[in-house]
Amino acid sequence: MGKSPRDRKDGAAARNRVRANGTLPPEPGADKPLDGPAGLRALAGDWVAAGDASAIEALPTAPGAYLLVLRVPDPVAPPPRFVARARADLPPGWLVYAGSARGPGGLRARLRRHLRPDKARRWHVDWLTTAPGVRVWAGPVPGGDECALMASVLALPGATVPVPGFGSSDCPRCPAHLAALPERAGPDAPR
């Protein structure tokens, strides 16, 4: 017997929630929660998953910085401007983007936009967050600095810069505001 539409909807909602202990929700059919890299989880407070409307509306309106964690299931083409720098599609795995929200509405407004799948591609990261099958989580850091966050991400074991200059066209000190983390940083990473 198949699942009812309500059961499928409830299951999708459960997958989009991030548990209070900071673990990412289970993928469909997974036996255990999908944990993001432990060091990464500690860099931001409460993680919010795309699709969790109540958690998104509870985000702070203060200015600050944020991390977007993307679970990319299939290769993703970089924005046209970065094709030569990337030399290839971005591979499946974990990607982490650092950004800032200093305008009206602060972190809530910016992260609400980033967590929506239906948006115009305005920023570099939009090419990734709108790609088919990509799962997105946001970690707000009120009062935080995006460059300091990216430095912390790049200090994690195995972190690399997949596309030089990605997301940091206005930043003279960072190699990029996008990092790739090794697959072992994901669900099978040792604790």
Average pLDDT (36-52) is: 76
pLDDT of 54 strictly over 50:
yes
Domain range for 96: 34-185
Residues 90-105 pLDDT 10s: 888 889 999 999 999 9
Above 80 in pLDDT, residue 176? yes
> Which residue in this structure is represented by tokens 């992260």?
111
User: How many distinct structural domains can be found in the chain?
Assistant: 1
Is residue 11 one of the residues assigned to a domain?
no
Q: Looking up tokens 């991030």, which residue turns up?
A: 18
Q: Place 183 in a pLDDT band, splitting at 50, 70 and 90.
A: low
pTM of the model: 0.76
Beta bridge partners of 31: none
Considering the domain boundaries, does residue 13 fall inside one?
no
Q: Give the strand order in the sheet containing 93-101.
A: 48-49, 135-142, 64-72, 93-101, 178-181
Rounded Cα–Cα distance for residues 129 and 70 (Å): 7
Q: Is residue 4 part of a domain?
A: no
Residue 17 lies in a domain: no
Check whether 18 has a pLDDT greater than 80: no
Query: Which pairs with CB-CB distance under 8 Å and at least 24 residues apart come from 88-92?
Result: 90/128, 90/162, 90/163, 90/180, 91/162, 91/180
In a domain, 26, yes or no: no
Which pair of tokens denotes residue 109? 């407004």
Q: Tell me the C-alpha distance between 69 and 49, whole Å.
A: 9
Q: Is the pLDDT higher at 115 or at 27? A: 115
Q: Does the structure show a pLDDT above 90 at 191?
A: no
Q: Does residue 161 lie within any of the structural domains? A: yes
Phi/psi at 88 (nearest 5 deg)? -170, 170
Q: Does residue 152 lie in a domain region? A: yes
Q: Model confidence at 80, in pLDDT bands (50, 70, 90)?
A: confident
pLDDT in tens, 107-145: 999 999 999 988 888 888 998 999 999 999 999 999 999
Q: Nearest CA to 42 among 145, 153, 122?
A: 153
190 located within any domain: no
User: For the ranges 59-68, 97-106, 132-141, 177-186, which has the lowest average pLDDT?
Assistant: 177-186
